[in-house]
Amino acid sequence: MLIRLKQVWYHYCEIDQGTVSALLAARSKGTFYSGSIKDSGTGGKFGCRDKTVPEF
């Protein structure tokens, strides 16, 4: 997933459909993003450093 915040693009890997659906349905997308997706500086749950590159 790519998400743009204040003109900066961030990428996240292997985000499941449930998380995407919850983000899109959230009353506050910013709050949901900060609490469930945002990289904590250690790669986070959806960091891409240890994931394989997807085939398109």
Q: What is the pLDDT of residue 45?
A: 78
Q: What is the pLDDT of residue 27?
A: 96
- Report the amino acid identity of residue 49: R
Tokens representing 2? 């790519």
* Per-residue tens of pLDDT for the chain, all 56 residues: 888 888 988 888 888 899 999 999 999 998 998 888 886 655 567 877 777 766 76
- 37 burial (CB, 10 Å; 0-12 / 13-18 / 19+) is buried
For residue 42, how far is the Cα from the chain centroid? 14
The model's pTM is 0.71
